Chain A
């Protein structure tokens, strides 16, 4: 077993994408796709351990995403969704633990630390009511370069010119061939909970940036 305490998640990227979608929906006409870019989104994670009182929490405020959004009769359509979280932006509040996390979770066999990336070809959002939408993003999530199918459902709410996207997801370490980190008798669980909480303001007809909401 290797030592470590924390992980990161690409899910943040997904959240960003969702958010972007929502924003766009408010601004664009049906046929014209518009490019949405999101910066400084927040992705947080939590993983339990074999010791009841110990769990590991971390987050990144450096999630970025790009997508193209258009309106369709079924609702907003997101296309070409790409999101990324730099591994170095993930932190747990403990430097040594962060180093362990990057080394044992995110470093490839050749010593690289590629960003955690999410990509999806297309997603359709459905409006729950006038101010809320639900977007299911199904695509691939790459951790240390290994892609696995990944789905996150984001709830997007609109309050004036502010959009907020919130979603939860789950990553299974073993699916990526990642050994559960263990440190001095404390071993993490295989499942890592992810949470995204993003806000964005519409500027004119092009919402282009979001900011993370601290967990």
Chain B
């Protein structure tokens, strides 16, 4: 264990050095809908979002930082990569006990163009503490790993509006927030270690895009939980001003230990300095056992955000989770969060979260400080 700790510190030292020596904007967010960026494809190389930004995205990201200056692109358009360091300090209190949690993560992100239409991409994460999604009896978490390949994809883009990708990655999801701990993600197999093998397509136009996908196991699922399935995501700009996006998701997955069928609706709406992100997913699940259990899970997410400054965004977030018997759960959560893009290389997020178990009436309070740094041209 000491060896792992020493390795993490070495990696941290390396990352901090890179941060100092190089510059690279922080990543964009769905909150960019407020100024008319209606989906991730505008700024990210991958149309699903996540991973490195394209040149235009880096320019926008730089412009949205406190420093707000022109971005000077590198002449090499074949290789885009960076190193990202995320340091998360979290304290949780439930009235009886308190726990502290420090989670350093170091990520290498790469997108390499092999030709005009072909490219490969990868995200590899080394981390100092595991953050699996909740270990549920009806949906055990995927196995964490100190060194984890989040993304390894081969992309084929015959034209700007059409892309196919095959490999391992997170599945496409609705409002597509980077916080994987929220109910709509963590309770729908969209946690940090969920990276199923998949084939997906992106087809987009000015006012819509669709993203159908099929998938199978990623290899780190517990016994009996390897899932095979498919689904699609489709979203549309309702008013045609790139600020009123509504979408639907459907997904069906089958595993030895149980199946799930999810239907979700989501919206991203922007009004200049503020906006709303919302998602509601309903999942019908079956769980095999001595007797077959069939039950429904509903997860809701709502966020109102306000750009106090271009680089400073405050949010109020509400969540709700309902799981029917025999795995009954009733959770409600509220969160206040401030995200500041201090420079093109560094962001900091401070948040407090309150989660109430509506069955036991227990209240858990969490405070989180997360800093993120990016490097490399």
Q: Which residues of A contact B (CB under 8 A)?
A: 3, 46, 48, 51-57, 92-97, 183-186, 215
With A93-B34, A95-B310, A184-B73 as given contacts, are A52 and B59 in contact (CB-CB < 8 Å)?
no
A93 touches B42 (CB 8 A): no
Listed in ascending order, the chain B residues whose CB lies under 8 Å from chain A are 34-39, 41-42, 54-56, 58-60, 62-64, 68-71, 73, 160-161, 204-206, 209, 241-243, 272-273, 310
Instruction: Closest A residue to B73 by CB, please name it.
Output: A184
Chain A residue with the shortest CB-CB distance to B41: A53
**Interchain CB contact under 8 A, A51 and B272:** no
Cα of A162 to Cα of B205 in the assembled complex, Å: 40
Instruction: Give the distance to chain B from A181, nearest Cβ to Cβ, in Å.
Output: 12
Name the 10 nearest CB pairs between A and B, nearest first.
A93-B35, A96-B63, A184-B56, A184-B55, A52-B206, A184-B59, A53-B42, A186-B56, A54-B42, A96-B68
5 contacts across the A-B interface (CB closer than 8 A): A52-B206, A53-B38, A53-B204, A95-B63, A96-B70
Task: Give the most central of A46, A54, A94: most B CB within 10 Å.
Answer: A54
The residues of A that contact B161 with a CB separation of less than 8 Å are 52
Q: Is the CB of B64 within 8 A of A183?
A: no
Question: Do residues B160 and A55 form an inter-chain contact, with CB atoms below 8 A?
Answer: no
Q: Is the CB of B241 within 8 A of A46?
A: yes
With a CB–CB cut-off of 8 A, which chain B residues contact A57?
35-36, 241-243
Complex Cα spacing A184 to B115, Å: 20
User: Smallest CB–CB gap between B158 and chain A, Å?
Assistant: 15
Closest to B77 in A: A185
Given known contacts A48-B206, A94-B64, A96-B69, is B59 in contact with A55 (CB within 8 Å)? no
Known A52-B205, A56-B36: A184·B71 in contact at CB below 8 Å: yes
Pairwise interchain contact A55-B71, C-beta atoms closer than 8 A: no
* Distance to closest chain B CB from A208 (angstroms): 28
From B54, B71, B310, contact of A94 by CB (8 A)? B310
- Residues in A with CB closer than 8 Å to B34 are 93
Q: Which residue of A lies closest to B57 (CB)?
A: A184
Most chain A beta-carbon neighbours within 10 Å: one of B38, B161, B242, B310: B242
With CB as the reference atom, state the residue of chain B lying closest to A48: B206
Partner of B36, one of A55, A184, A185, A186: A55
Cα distance, A46 to B68, chains bound together (Å): 23
| Alpha-carbon distance between A185 and B209 when the two chains are bound, in angstroms | 21
Which of A53, A57, A96, A185: most chain B Cβ within 10 A? A53
- Chain A hits for B35, CB < 8 A: 57, 92-94
- In the complex, chain B residues whose CB is within 8 Å of the CB of A184: 55-56, 58-59, 71, 73
Measured in the bound complex, the distance between the Cα atoms of B273 and A93 in whole Å is 7
Partner of B59, one of A46, A51, A92, A183: A183
Closest residue of chain B to A52 (Cβ to Cβ) is B206
Q: A97 to B63, Cβ gap below 8 A?
A: yes
Q: Is the CB of A53 within 8 A of B56?
A: no
Question: Nearest residue in A to B71 (C-beta to C-beta)?
Answer: A184
Q: How far is the CA of A57 from the CA of B60 in the complex (A)?
A: 15
Q: Which residue of A lies closest to B209 (CB)?
A: A53
Told that A53-B39, A183-B59, A184-B71 touch, could you supply 19 new A-B pairs with CB distance under 8 A? A52-B160, A52-B205, A53-B38, A53-B42, A53-B209, A53-B242, A57-B35, A57-B241, A93-B35, A93-B36, A93-B310, A94-B35, A94-B60, A95-B68, A95-B310, A96-B70, A184-B56, A184-B59, A184-B73
Q: Using A93-B35, A93-B272, A94-B63 as known contacts, say yes or no to A3 and B70 having CB atoms under 8 A apart.
A: yes
Contacting residues, chain B, for A93 (C-beta < 8 A): 34-36, 272-273, 310
With a cutoff of 8 Å between Cβ atoms, the chain A residues found around residue B272 in the complex are: 93
Q: How far is the CA of A45 from the CA of B78 in the complex (A)?
A: 35
Q: Which residues does chain B contribute within 8 Å of A94, judged by CB atoms? A: 35, 60, 63-64, 310
> What is the bound-complex CA distance between A3 and B59, given in angstroms?
11
Pick from B70, B160, B209: contact of A51, CB below 8 A.
B160
Closest residue of B by beta carbon distance from A97: B63
CA–CA, A94 to B69, complex, Å?
Answer: 11
| Contact between A183 and B56, CB atoms less than 8 A apart | yes
Contacts of B69 on A, CB cut-off 8 Å? 96
Closest chain A residue to B39 by CB distance? A53
Complex Cα–Cα for A97 and B42 (A): 16
A127 CB, nearest partner CB in chain B, Å: 30
Q: Once bound together, how far apart are the Cα atoms of A3 and B38, in whole Å?
A: 21
Chain A residue at smallest Cβ distance from B161 = A52
Complex interface: chain A residues within 8 A of B242 (CB): 53-55, 57
Residues of B close to A215: CB separation below 8 A: 241
B204 to chain A, nearest CB (A): 6
* Distance from A180 Cβ to chain B, minimum over Cβ atoms (Å): 15
- Within the complex, the shortest CB–CB distance from A147 to chain B, in Å, comes to 30
Q: How far is the CA of A97 from the CA of B54 in the complex (A)?
A: 18
Q: Which residue of B lies closest to A100 (CB)?
A: B70
Query: Across the interface, which residues of A come within 8 angstroms of B58, CB to CB?
Result: 184
Contacts of B59 in A (CB 8 A): 183-184
Q: Across the interface, which residues of B come within 8 angstroms of A48, CB to CB?
A: 206
Tell me the minimal C-beta distance from B119 to chain A in angstroms. 16
B203 to chain A, nearest CB (A): 11
Are B68 and A52 in contact, CB atoms less than 8 angstroms apart? no
A185 touches B56 (CB 8 A): yes
CB-nearest residue of chain A relative to B63? A96
User: Is A185 in contact with B37, judged by CB distance below 8 angstroms?
Assistant: no
A47 to chain B, nearest CB (A): 11
CA gap between A52 and B203 in the complex, in Å: 11
| Bound: A143/B39 CA distance, A | 33
